[in-house]
């Protein structure tokens, strides 16, 4: 019987298995040393991009508040200049024909109404010798607050001072105006002929300043004492909570020098805790313009990046 022929067994050289383990270990080390730095770099880049996006969101919101504040200040300055020019016109009339000429002009209701600009509720002239000549928009009845502030402005004008008041309620609920008072004929140290006054309607100025609606945002304006005089509040947040309790409002009112700021705070509204990102900037008159939105909306793009 023929013997079975077997193929010779293939034997690995001594130490071959150890060499393979070394090779695999080296490959693993190369893989780790290559991927780990890339992963760390990618994680750092995401973190940097996230922080940049957060900073950009805060800066954009602060820019909105600053833009509204500058627009409101500019509109009030334009109204002030317009009224100062009217005061100069009255003074020129007095120089030309004496106080009686100006009195004849302002006694004509149609003449006085022509001086009533679209942003004005009232134009009033008080001759130094007594009397009062008014032109009032739509025959509006002025309230006690408006008359009191106008009387204070008239007293200061007699001393040669030009003043602009804080916002005061006029007309229908929610409407506010500022009282402007300036002397006629005594700003340069001469004899005073009278006082020119106006109530400037803040409604049109606010609408122009805010512009297109900001979806999800609450925008509001407070005077230096924390009184609300204008707002864009589609959710009605300001009517359901004391806005003076907001952290950013308290900081603004407590600061001796008003400045711009962005910060976050939490409030409980309808039993739910809500986190807000808020920005504030001040007008030239020291009023605060606040822009705030829920943080989940403000940072929605950041959350999308993380996911």
The per-residue pLDDT for range 160-170, each reduced to its tens digit, is 899 999 999 99
pLDDT digits (tens, 9 = 90+) for 22-61: 766 766 766 667 666 666 655 565 555 555 556 667 788 8
Tell me, what's the pLDDT at 47? 53
Q: Which residues contact 102 (CB under 8 A, 6 or more apart)?
A: 90, 93, 94, 125, 127, 193, 194
Q: Which of 13-17, 82-86, 151-155, 268-272 ranks highest by mean pLDDT?
A: 151-155
pLDDT digits (tens, 9 = 90+) for 10-19: 554 555 556 6
Q: Among 20-24, 167-171, 246-250, 301-305, which stretch is predicted with the lowest mean pLDDT?
A: 301-305
Tell me, what's the pLDDT at 283? 95
pLDDT digits (tens, 9 = 90+) for 118-160: 788 999 999 988 889 888 888 788 889 999 999 999 999 988 8
Strand partners, 222: 228, 288
- Do 283 and 289 touch, CB atoms closer than 8 A? yes
Tell me, what's the pLDDT at 2? 52
Tell me, what's the pLDDT at 180? 96
DSSP code, position 197: E
Signed CA dihedral, 116, 121, 122, 123: sign only: negative
Which domains does the chain carry? 71-202 (3.30.450.20), 205-306 (3.30.450.20)
DSSP code, position 115: T
Question: Smallest Cα–Cα separation from 295: which of 278, 275, 279?
Answer: 275
Percent of all residues in the chain with a pLDDT value above 70, rounded to a whole number:
77
Strand partners, 294: 276
Mean confidence (pLDDT) of the chain: 82
Cα dist from 300 to 52, 72, 305, 307, whole Å:
14, 30, 9, 11
Q: How confident is the model at residue 1 (pLDDT cuts 50, 70, 90)?
A: very low
């Amino acid at each position: 019987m023929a013997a079975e022929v077997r193929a010779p067994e293939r034997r690995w050289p001594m130490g071959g298995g150890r060499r393979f383990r070394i090779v695999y270990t080296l490959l693993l080390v190369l893989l780790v040393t290559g991927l780990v730095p890339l992963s760390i770099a990618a994680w750092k880049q995401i973190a940097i991009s996230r922080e940049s996006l957060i900073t950009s969101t805060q800066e954009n919101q602060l820019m909105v508040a600053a833009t509204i504040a500058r627009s409101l200040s500019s509109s009030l300055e334009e109204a002030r200049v317009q009224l100062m020019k009217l005061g100069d016109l009255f003074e020129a009339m007095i120089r030309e024909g004496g106080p009686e000429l100006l009195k004849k002009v302002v006694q004509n209701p149609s003449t006085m109404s022509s001086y009533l600009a679209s942003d004005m509720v009232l134009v009033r002239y008080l001759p130094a010798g007594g009397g009062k000549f008014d032109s009032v928009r739509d025959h509006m009845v002025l309230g006690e607050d408006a008359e009191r502030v106008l009387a204070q402005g008239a007293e200061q004008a007699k001393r040669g001072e030009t003043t602009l008041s804080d916002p005061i309620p006029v007309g229908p609920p929610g409407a506010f105006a500022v009282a402007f008072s300036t002397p006629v004929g005594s700003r340069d140290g001469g004899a005073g002929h009278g006082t020119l006054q106006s109530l400037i309607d803040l409604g049109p100025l606010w609408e122009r300043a805010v512009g297109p609606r900001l979806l999800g945002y609450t925008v509001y304006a407070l005077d230096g004492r924390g009184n609300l005089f204008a707002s864009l509040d589609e959710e009605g947040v300001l009517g359901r909570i004391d806005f003076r309790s907001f952290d950013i409002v308290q900081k603004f009112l407590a600061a001796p020098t008003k400045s711009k700021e962005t910060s976050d705070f939490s409030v409980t509204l309808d039993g739910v805790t809500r986190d807000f990102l808020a920005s504030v900037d001040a007008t030239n008159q020291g009023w605060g313009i606040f822009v705030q939105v829920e943080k989940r909306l403000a940072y929605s793009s950041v959350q999308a990046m993380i996911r």
